[in-house]
Structure 1
Amino acid sequence: MAMICHLLFFAGFIIPFGNVLGPLVLWLIKKDTMPFVDDQGKEVLNFQITLVIVGAICFITSFLILPLLVGLAVFIAAVVFAIIGTIKSNEGVAYRYPYILRLIK
């Protein structure tokens, strides 16, 4: 189940804010019965919220070239980190995303 939290990052490509709503729903349903899903769900939500904030900043300042490059770099890093998180949680290892805001504790 924790692996699904990480995979739901890709729901954002199909459903607006699906990258946040998917893990949020799964975490809310399973957090009390599955401690690993509770831990990884919070981690994924913090990562997705950080991505939304950075994406909004890049969008607002998109008239500059630098935010476009930063946005591209953030997108590539997000895909790579989501895949790494999926693999690690499938192995039963708690994955910590680097460089994120820890808003949900």
Structure 2
Amino acid sequence: MESNYHTLKRTDNQLLMITHLSQLLTYITGFGGLVVPLILWATQKEAVDGMDAHGKSILNFQLSIIVYCIISIPLILAFGLGIITLVLVGILAFIMPIVNAIKASNGELPSYPLSLNFIS
């Protein structure tokens, strides 16, 4: 009889929640919001049920935020539209990880609006 132990995944909604909240490190360190979820996803996607889907959503969202910030820079010269865009992106990048951390703690899948699909 062959063991399927390596295919069993544990349920860990707290780790999923922490992974979402780790995006807020960007507001403290400037870069941790992409690095920490990437490390958690890469090391735990095979061990934790749902980590692959949550991790991909988080990374797609963080990469999308970076793209939107880069696009906003030249828009600053166009009547200050880039400043408005940067403020809106900053608000979205702060609120959505909290909303999705709550979803993760309840066992729900995340949803990040305006997220581009870099990793599928």
2:79 matched to 1:73?
A: no
Secondary structure of 1:14's partner?
helix
* Cα distance per residue 1:24-81 (max 9 Å; x no partner): 0000010111131111011001000000111122134333411101111111122121
- 1:22 and 2:18 equivalent? no
2:7 is matched with which residue? none
Tell me, in whole angstroms, the C-alpha distance in 2 between the residues paired with 1:51 and 1:101.
9
**In the alignment, which residue of structure 2 is the partner of 1:56?**
70
SS at match of 2:77: coil
> Who is 1:104 aligned against?
119
Tell me which structure has the larger Cα radius of gyration.
Answer: 2
Instruction: State percent identity of aligned pairs.
Output: 30
Question: Which residue type is aligned with residue 38 of structure 2?
Answer: L
TM-score (norm 2): 0.81
Among candidates 67, 70, 85, match of residue 100 of structure 2: 85
Distance 2:54 2:103 in 1: 11
State the AA in 2 paired with 1:101. L
Q: Distance in 2 between matches of 1:13 and 1:75?
A: 9
- Unaligned 5+ runs, structure 1: none
**Displaced runs of 4+ in structure 1, greater than 4 A?**
none
Q: Distance in 1 between matches of 2:56 and 2:24?
A: 17
What is the alpha-carbon distance in structure 2 between the residues aligned to residue 32 and residue 66 of structure 1? 42
2:58 paired with 1:44: yes
User: 2: CA distance between counterparts of 1:4 and 1:78?
Assistant: 15
Distance across 2 between alignment mates of 1:22 and 1:4: 10
Aligned length: 105
**TM-score after normalising by structure 1:** 0.91
CA displacement at 1:102 relative to structure 2: 1.1
Determine the C-alpha separation between the residues in 2 that align with 1:15 and 1:77. Answer: 18
2:110 maps to: 95
Q: Which has the higher helix share?
A: 1
